[in-house]
């Protein structure tokens, strides 16, 4: 008999409750929302992006990770992105939300096929944008019974790749580079009454990687596992050259849990952990110890994202946000020429290890191991050029020392993949 693992999601409400109420109104006003010492932040890096919350300075976290550099570069600088499919493992997502429509991964065989027929013979009938593994249906939105409850997955999907330049709501680092595959693995309200089912998760991992997801975003964690689940994650996140290889972006909880939980706790080569960063570049108090490895800091506090359809938004804080933002940054970079051609292992080696982990941007030192030296902060600054940069990157790409370091890091095979070349 398979043991059932307890699933806990790192979702907590923002202290700025007034801002939450305001933001939940459809078409919320384009004015700064005060929620932490970090927002609002004006001016913005990209004044041409017209999404309401960005123009109002509420998307401080997009510019914190230099997210605008991962947006479509001008054609003269390398052309369009090749989208990276990011699978959102959560309680589903309201795919009819104004900021998610048009951002979804689409199974073309089903889109051009016949209703009621498994057109691509993958074992799932009419799986257009993912699969609902809870109810075993192609409808990945939370069902009617969940209406009125917060959809954690909707928020996460928007922080990865909300629709940009539609004049409403938010934008995200992966807006142009990522496409969202919705993989519903827990029930209403982020599964509080529906613990993670390991067999279901094994099937969901199989589906997402078989259908081409290159980044699997887990803004959740669990403390019990099974041999089958361990094997499935090892195949995806560790086995060299696996045809099922993908990056797993895993949350590290910040509510005082003594351990990070899975999948962050796996010591696998393709697990990238999001360390929650709060105000003033500090690691969120109560962040669990993470294994040594690919650990990158990303914003957690006072982040606005999509809520109920058709156009509601809410402000949240928590390590879940960090995970989705990191997944969006990675997708945005990976989608950019010439990184788009890299395999998962090549991307980890050339981008994550050689560039992102070596950034001079670091969090403040944490008070306890393993964070006493701080952690590198996730950003897209490696895409900066002399023509196009972001405020947080300044002083990095223009420094001779930094340039020398980058040149050393991108010698040999990686020199061909340096986006500075040819731009």
Structure tokens at 374: 């701080």
The verdict on 163 binding Ca ion (CB under 5 A) reads yes
Closest separation between CB of residue 50 and Ca ion, Å? 9
- Out of 91, 110, 176, 397, the only residue in the binding site for Ca ion (CB under 5 A) is 110
Q: How far apart are CA 318 and CA 284, in angstroms?
A: 9
**Least gap, CB of 113 to Ca ion (angstroms):** 4
Site for Ca ion, residues 334 to 363, rule: CB under 5 A:
none
Contact 100, 180 (CB under 8 A): yes
Q: Rounded to an integer, what is the distance from CA 136 to the centroid of its chain?
A: 25
* Binding string, residues 114-143; x marks residues near Ca ion by CB under 5 A: ---xxxx-x-x-xx----------------
Report the nearest approach of Ca ion to the CB of residue 80 (Å): 19
d(CA 229, CA 200): 10
Q: Which stretch binds Ca ion (CB under 5 A): 38-46, 98-106, 232-240, 313-321?
A: 98-106
Q: Which residue has the tokens 């030296």?
A: 373
Long-range contacts of 410-417 (CB under 8 A, 24+ apart): 410/350, 410/354, 413/350, 414/349, 414/350, 414/354, 416/338, 417/338, 417/339, 417/341, 417/342, 417/350
| H or E segment and range at residue 52 | helix 52-55
How many chain residues bind Ca ion (CB under 5 A)?
Answer: 15
Shortest distance in whole angstroms from residue 379 CB to Ca ion: 21
Region near Ca ion per CB under 5 A, out of 83-91, 111-119, 234-242, 340-348: 111-119
Closest CB to Ca ion among residues 109, 224: 109
Binding span for Ca ion by CB under 5 A among 1-9, 60-68, 92-100, 254-262: 92-100
Distance between CA atoms of residues 282 and 377, nearest Å: 11
Do residues 86 and 160 lie in contact, with contact meaning Cβ atoms separated by under 8 Å?
Answer: yes
Quick count: other Cβ atoms within 10 Å of Cβ 17? 11
At its nearest, how many Å lie between Ca ion and the CB of residue 169?
Answer: 4
Site string for Ca ion, 387-406 (x = CB under 5 A): --------------------
Q: How far is the CB of 166 from Ca ion (least distance, A)?
A: 5
CB 336 to Ca ion: min, Å: 20
Q: How far is the CB of 228 from Ca ion (least distance, A)?
A: 24
Nearer Cβ to Ca ion, position 273 or 314?
A: 314
Binding mask 198-237 for Ca ion (x = CB under 5 A): ----------------------------------------
Question: Using an 8 Å Cβ cutoff, are 102 and 158 in contact?
Answer: no
In terms of Cβ atoms closer than 10 Å to its own Cβ (0-12, 13-18, 19+), residue 101 is middle
- For Ca ion, which residue of 45, 99, 316, 397 counts as binding (CB under 5 A)? 99
Stretch that binds Ca ion, among 50-58, 201-209, 314-322, 323-331 (CB under 5 A): 50-58
Give residue 190's region: left, alpha or beta (phi > 0; psi -120 to 50).
Answer: left
- Least separation, in Å, of the C-beta of 109 and Ca ion? 7
Rounded-to-integer distance, Cα 166 and Cα 45, Å: 18
Residues near 232 by beta carbon (within 8 Å), at least 6 away in sequence = 201, 202, 205, 206
Among 10, 153, 169, 187, binds Ca ion (CB under 5 A): 169
Q: What is the CA radius of gyration of the chain?
A: 20
User: Which is closer to Ca ion, CB of 140 or CB of 406?
Assistant: 140
Residues 182 and 93 sit within 8 Å (Cβ to Cβ): yes
SS3 at position 89: strand
Residues lying near Ca ion in the complex (CB under 5 A) are found at 51, 99, 110, 113, 117-120, 122, 124, 126-127, 163, 166, 169
């Amino acid at each position: 008999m398979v043991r059932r693992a307890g699933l806990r999601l790192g979702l907590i409400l923002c202290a700025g409750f007034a801002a939450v109420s305001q933001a939940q109104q459809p078409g919320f006003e384009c004015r700064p929302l005060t929620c932490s010492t970090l927002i609002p932040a004006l001016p913005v890096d990209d004044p041409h992006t017209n999404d309401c919350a960005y123009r109002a300075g509420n998307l401080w976290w997009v510019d914190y990770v230099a997210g605008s550099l991962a947006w479509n570069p001008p054609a003269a600088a390398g052309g369009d992105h090749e989208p990276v499919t990011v699978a959102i493992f959560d309680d589903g997502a309201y795919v009819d939300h104004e900021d998610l429509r048009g951002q979804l991964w689409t199974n073309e065989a089903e889109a051009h096929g016949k209703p009621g027929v498994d057109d691509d013979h993958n074992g799932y009938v009419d799986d257009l944008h993912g699969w609902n593994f809870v109810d075993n249906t192609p409808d990945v939105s939370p069902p009617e019974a969940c209406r009125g409850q917060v959809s954690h997955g909707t928020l996460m999907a928007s922080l990865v790749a909300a629709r940009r330049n539609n004049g409403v709501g938010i934008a995200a680092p992966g807006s142009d580079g990522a496409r969202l595959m919705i993989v519903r693995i827990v029930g209403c309200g982020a599964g509080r009454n529906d613990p993670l089912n390991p067999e279901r998760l094994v099937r969901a991992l199989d589906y997402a990687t078989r259908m081409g997801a290159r980044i699997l975003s887990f803004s959740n964690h669990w403390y019990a596992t099974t041999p089958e689940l361990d094997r499935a994650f090892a195949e995806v996140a560790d086995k060299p050259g696996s045809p099922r290889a993908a990056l797993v972006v895993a949350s590290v909880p910040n509510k005082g849990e003594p351990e990070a939980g899975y999948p962050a706790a796996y010591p696998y080569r393709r697990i990238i952990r999001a360390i929650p960063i709060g105000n003033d570049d500090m690691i969120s108090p109560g962040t669990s110890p993470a294994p040594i490895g690919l650990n990158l800091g990303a914003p957690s506090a006072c982040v606005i994202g999509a809520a109920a359809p058709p156009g509601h938004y809410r402000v949240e804080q928590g390590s879940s946000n960090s995970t989705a933002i990191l997944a969006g940054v990675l997708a945005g970079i990976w989608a950019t020429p010439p990184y788009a051609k890299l395999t998962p292992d090549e991307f980890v080696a050339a981008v994550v290890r050689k560039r992102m982990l070596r950034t001079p941007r670091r969090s403040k030192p944490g008070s306890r191991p393993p964070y006493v030296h701080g952690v590198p902060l996730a950003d897209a600054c490696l895409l900066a050029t002399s023509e196009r940069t972001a405020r947080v990157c300044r002083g990095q790409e223009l420094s001779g020392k930094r340039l020398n370091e980058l040149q050393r890091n991108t010698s040999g095979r990686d020199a061909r993949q340096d986006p500075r070349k040819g731009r």
